[in-house]
Amino acid sequence: MAWRSSGASNVDLVNNLRRHGVFSSERVKEAMVTVRRAPSSEILCKHQTLSYSRSCLQLTQINLQVDRAHYCPSFPYDDSPKPIGHGATISAPHMHASACESLLPYLNPGAKVLDIGSGSGYLTHVLAELVKPGGKVVGIEHIQELVDLAEKNMAKSKEGKEFLESGTVLFVKGDGRKGYPSEAPYDAIHVGAAAAEHHKALTDQLKAPGR
Ligand code: SAH
């Protein structure tokens, strides 16, 4: 069912994921719908692909309804993973939704979260929405270009920019298998990169209770 959840807009996509039972929480829905990444028309003009023949104003109007578009370079409302370069993908929306719902009991205002394999930065942003105010999310990624990309993606919106400037979100380059001890302990650790084995460093950096 997850693969039938694609929509014509971000709201559509999130509603379809919920309707198909991928997640049920209102909080997850709000976070996925309200992560605002719409740029100003000026920024949009700079970044729009020239193949678009629409005016900046029209593009801005379209983008105001967009969530994933600034993190996902193609078909952002499809419920499927998409390449983001460097051999990595932004995960499918149903993966993001179910990860959030599974961690939800630990994603309260003020909570600290580690997002391992932060890639595009999309999930890091949704997690930051879920732990505000007062929370912090560290996105750790082992490819520097993707650390830079996540920061660039997040800075496209006013809210994302504030998260970065206030230190609510921190993107760092590192090996996620070791966690990120300097910000530990975490209420929740999301592992978005495949792990062949259990890495004790991660459970050591998790609060009890934590997930
Ligand atoms: N959650 C992200 C990306 C998921 S793809 C998104 O949806 O956009 C998995 C990511 O994990 C890739 O960006 C990859 O570069 C990263 N990764 C793989 N092994 C890693 C490791 N040991 N430490 C940190 N990041 C790693």
List pLDDT tens digits, range 128-176.
Answer: 999 999 999 999 999 999 999 999 999 988 889 999 999 999 999 999 9
Q: Tell me if 1 sits within 8 A of 20, measured CB to CB.
A: yes
- pLDDT for the residue 107: 95
Q: Which tens digits make up the pLDDT trace of 148-160?
A: 999 999 998 888 9
Average pLDDT score over residue span 98-122: 96
- pLDDT for the residue 50: 29
The Cα–Cα gap between 135 and 169 comes to 9
* Mean pLDDT of the residues in the chain: 84
Going from the C-alpha of 101 to that of each of 39, 60, 173, the distances in angstroms are 28, 31, 26
First-residue to last-residue Cα distance in the chain: 26
- pLDDT for the residue 64: 35
pLDDT at residue 57 greater than cutoff 80: no
Q: Please give the helix or strand (H or E) that residue 82 lies within, else none.
A: strand 82-85
- Identify the DSSP state of 104: G
- pLDDT for the residue 35: 63
Q: At residue 179, what are phi and psi to the nearest 5 degrees?
A: 70, -155
Helices 93-103 and 122-131, axial angle in degrees (round to 10): 30
Q: Do strands 82-85 and 136-141 pair parallel, antiparallel, or not at all (unpaired)?
A: unpaired
Which atom of ligand 1 is least distant from the CA of 91? 7
The Cα–Cα gap between 148 and 169 comes to 13
Band of the pLDDT at 48, cuts 50, 70, 90? very low
Cis peptide before 209 (omega within 30 of 0): yes
- pLDDT for the residue 66: 34
- pLDDT for the residue 4: 83
Measured from CB, residues less than 6 Å from any atom of ligand 1 are: 88-91, 116-120, 122-123, 140-143, 146, 175-177, 192-193
Q: Tell me if 172 sits within 8 A of 128, measured CB to CB.
A: no
Which atom of ligand 1 is least distant from the CA of 71? 8
- pLDDT for the residue 65: 30
Band of the pLDDT at 40, cuts 50, 70, 90? very low
Ligand 1 centre to CA of 68 (Å) is 17
Pick the more confident residue, 120 or 50.
120
pLDDT at residue 36 greater than cutoff 70: no
Of 160, 77, 153, 168, the closest CA to residue 121 belongs to 153
Band of the pLDDT at 183, cuts 50, 70, 90? very high
Average pLDDT score over residue span 176-188: 98
Decide: residue 45, CB within 10 A, 0-12 exposed, 13-18 middle, 19+ buried: middle
